């Protein structure tokens, strides 16, 4: 009899504990986030512009592109400008690359444009030759179109320039 009581109590505890494990209670957790608008602009990246090998006797110009990525808050107007660079005598309308060899001081004129037709010069005068955009909280990709005119007689070598990209908002 004692044995049956122990077995009965053991079975009873087993079933009671099974029911206790199987029972659950559930509730909800409210999750809230407030995202404010970005009230600034970021210059995310600028890719280099690399022209193909320039041949002065070719009858066509050499073209290249670079990209500028800018993120501004929604509704924020901004302008992207590019200065004249560091070439000796360069202007925003007539930029100049300089030959890198210490033995020579060759100069190679080129242009930077806002469109692939090379008609809209890219400078840094707001309202004249900058690119105007309005932010949308997402990266906006802008293409810079470069052109070296055909027929420029220059010494062989590597020519470089550095221009500054300016985001005004």
Residue range 119-157, pLDDT digits in tens = 999 999 999 999 999 999 999 999 999 999 999 989 888
More confident residue, 102 or 161: 161
pTM (2 d.p.):
0.76
Q: Is 118 inside a domain boundary?
A: yes
Task: Give 99's strand partners.
Answer: 159
Three-state DSSP class for residue 155: coil
Quote the CA–CA distance of 82 and 145 in Å, as a whole number. 12
Three-state DSSP class for residue 21: helix
More confident residue, 29 or 108: 108
**Which ranges in the chain belong to alpha helices (H)?**
2-22
Which pLDDT does position 14 carry in this prediction? 53
Domain CATH number, residue 62: 2.60.40.1090
Quote the CA–CA distance of 70 and 139 in Å, as a whole number. 5
| Residue 80: CB atoms within 10 Å | 24
Asked whether the predicted pLDDT for residue 43 surpasses 60, the reply is yes
Quote the CA–CA distance of 80 and 167 in Å, as a whole number. 5
pLDDT single digits (tens) 2-41: 555 554 455 445 555 555 556 767 766 777 566 655 579 9
Quote the CA–CA distance of 100 and 98 in Å, as a whole number. 6
Task: Give 67's strand partners.
Answer: 143
Q: Is 113 inside a domain boundary?
A: yes
Which pLDDT does position 12 carry in this prediction? 47
Which pLDDT does position 24 carry in this prediction? 64
Q: Is 59 inside a domain boundary?
A: yes
Q: Is 149 inside a domain boundary?
A: yes
Q: Is 17 inside a domain boundary?
A: no
Asked whether the predicted pLDDT for residue 168 surpasses 60, the reply is yes
Q: Mean pLDDT over residues 64-75, rounded?
A: 97
Query: Are the beta carbons of 75 and 105 closer than 8 angstroms?
Result: no
Three-state DSSP class for residue 144: strand
Structural domain count of the chain: 1
Which pLDDT does position 18 carry in this prediction? 52
Q: Mean pLDDT over residues 60-77, rounded?
A: 96
Query: Which domain range does residue 97 map to?
Result: 41-168
């Amino acid at each position: 009899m004692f044995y049956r009581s122990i077995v009965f109590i053991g079975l009873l505890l087993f079933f009671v504990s099974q029911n206790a494990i199987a029972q659950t209670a559930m509730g909800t957790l409210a999750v809230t986030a407030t995202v404010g608008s970005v009230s600034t602009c970021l210059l995310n990246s600028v890719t280099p512009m690399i022209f193909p090998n320039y041949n002065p006797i070719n009858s066509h110009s050499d073209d290249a592109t670079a990209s500028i990525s800018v993120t501004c808050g929604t509704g924020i107007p901004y302008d992207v400008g590019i200065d004249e660079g560091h070439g000796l005598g360069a202007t925003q309308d007539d930029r100049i690359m300089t030959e890198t060899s210490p033995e020579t001081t060759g100069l190679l004129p080129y242009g930077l444009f806002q469109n692939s037709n090379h008609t809209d010069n890219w400078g840094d005068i707001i309202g004249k030759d900058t690119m105007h955009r309005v932010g949308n909280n997402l990266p906006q990709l802008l293409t810079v179109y470069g052109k070296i005119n055909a027929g420029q007689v220059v010494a062989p070598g590597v020519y470089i320039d550095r221009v500054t990209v300016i985001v005004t908002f």
